[in-house]
């Protein structure tokens, strides 16, 4: 029994001695690995600030620059970790770590395919110069001002102050109309005048009224005027002109201003804008007598 205890003690002593010798032998590598990891940690902070500064010059969306900076920081730390493991001669552990990361990444990618698609779409949209916060756009059946473009959703505020949240993937895969890319917008008004009106006078009067209502219209010749049809109660026309506008609100304001100017001009010149009228005329007497009564 004593011999067994003595042998076990000697084996334990040999093991501890071997471990101690291994630690002493690999101590410089451990210190170097720690220094590499700490240096990578501080380098990640510098890289994060540098990347955020560079990205913010191209992208106005602050959240995007922060996310890109954090990704760069994480990559820097991971590179430092892999280098530290290589210094410790843990190549097998490094290989296993990379293989495990690949499997985990594949599983996460399959599970979050829709979310990752929105994230990538959000990054792409943030780098597009033709879609920015504050622009008035129309897409997927909604129109409004772009309030935010984050890594998951595209947020619009409609004219009625309602907020519409759309997945970034829908914005990237569907057509989008941006009213803010051009400084001008063409306004189209449809109206009609009575059949007794002098059509040439109506045309000239309408053009002058619209031209005088807007500073951006140089003269009456810049206003387009076309008669379209003989209506039921009026001779209809369409009037088109360009104004300075970048939002749908500017469109509504211009239409209102033009309608007021045209109505005032017509009132001053006794031009009638008729509304639909239906006249019922009874010229014949109805025979309500029954056949039997007529025979008698």
Helix 62-87 with 113-126: angle, nearest 10 deg: 120
Beta-bridge partners for 226: 238
Rounded-to-integer distance, Cα 33 and Cα 93, Å: 15
Residue 276: band (very low, low, confident or very high) from pLDDT cuts 50, 70, 90: confident
Strands (E), the chain: 136-139, 142-149, 153-157, 163-167, 176-178, 184-193, 224-230, 235-244
Task: Please write the tens of the pLDDT for every residue from 37-72.
Answer: 788 888 888 888 888 788 777 766 665 676 677 778
Q: Decide: pTM greater than 0.85.
A: no
φ and ψ at 148, to 5 degrees? -160, 145
Rounded-to-integer distance, Cα 215 and Cα 267, Å: 23
pLDDT at 194 over 70: yes
Of 135 and 282, the structure prediction assigns the larger pLDDT to 135
Dihedral sign of CA atoms 185, 190, 193, 197 in order: positive
Percent of the chain clearing pLDDT 90 (strictly above): 24
From 115, 116, 173, 162, select the one nearest 139 (Cα to Cα).
Answer: 173
User: What end-to-end distance do the CA atoms of the chain give, in Å?
Assistant: 147
Residue 254: band (very low, low, confident or very high) from pLDDT cuts 50, 70, 90: very high
Q: Report the pLDDT value the prediction gives residue 111, as an integer from 0 to 100.
A: 47
How crowded is residue 22: how many other Cβ atoms within 10 Å of its Cβ? 10
Beta carbons within 8 Å of 91's beta carbon, 6+ residues apart: 85
Neighbour-count burial of 192, counting CB atoms closer than 10 A to its CB (0-12 exposed, 13-18 middle, 19+ buried): buried
- Per-residue burial over 111-138, b if 16 or more Cβ lie within 10 Å, else e, is eeeeeeebbebbbebbeeeebbeebbbe
Beta-bridge partners for 149: 154
Rounded-to-integer distance, Cα 130 and Cα 128, Å: 6
Region 101-121: mean pLDDT is 63
* Domains in the chain, CATH or no CATH each: 2-111 (1.10.287), 130-180 (2.30.30.60), 182-268 (3.30.70.100)
């Amino acid at each position: 029994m004593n011999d067994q205890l003595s042998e076990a003690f000697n084996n334990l002593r040999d093991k501890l001695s071997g471990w101690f010798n291994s630690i002493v032998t690999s101590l410089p590598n451990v210190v170097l690995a720690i220094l590499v990891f700490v240096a990578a940690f501080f380098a990640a902070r510098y890289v994060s600030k540098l990347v955020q500064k560079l990205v913010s010059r191209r992208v106005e969306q602050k959240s995007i620059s922060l996310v890109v900076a954090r990704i760069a920081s994480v990559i820097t730390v991971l590179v430092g970790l892999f280098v530290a493991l290589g210094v410790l001669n843990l190549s097998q552990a490094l290989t296993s770590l990379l293989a495990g990361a690949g499997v985990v990444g594949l599983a996460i990618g399959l599970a979050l395919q829709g979310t990752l698609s929105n994230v990538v779409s959000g990054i792409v949209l943030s780098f597009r110069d033709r879609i920015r916060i504050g622009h008035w756009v129309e897409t997927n059946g909604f129109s409004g001002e772009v309030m935010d473009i984050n890594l998951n959703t595209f947020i619009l505020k409609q004219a009625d102050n309602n907020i519409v949240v759309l997945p970034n993937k829908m914005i990237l895969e569907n057509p989008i109309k941006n009213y803010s890319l051009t400084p001008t917008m063409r306004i189209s008004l449809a109206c009609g005048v009575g059949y007794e009106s002098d059509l040439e006078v109506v045309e000239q009067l309408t053009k002058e009224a619209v031209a005088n209502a807007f500073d951006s219209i140089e003269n009456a010749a810049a206003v387009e005027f076309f008669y379209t049809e003989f209506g039921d109660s009026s001779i209809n026309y369409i009037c088109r002109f360009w104004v300075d506008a970048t939002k749908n609100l500017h469109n509504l304001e211009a239409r209102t201003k033009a309608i007021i100017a045209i109505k005032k001009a017509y009132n001053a010149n006794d031009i009638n804008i008729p509304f639909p009228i239906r006249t019922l005329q009874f010229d014949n007497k109805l025979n309500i007598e029954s056949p039997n009564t007529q025979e008698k």
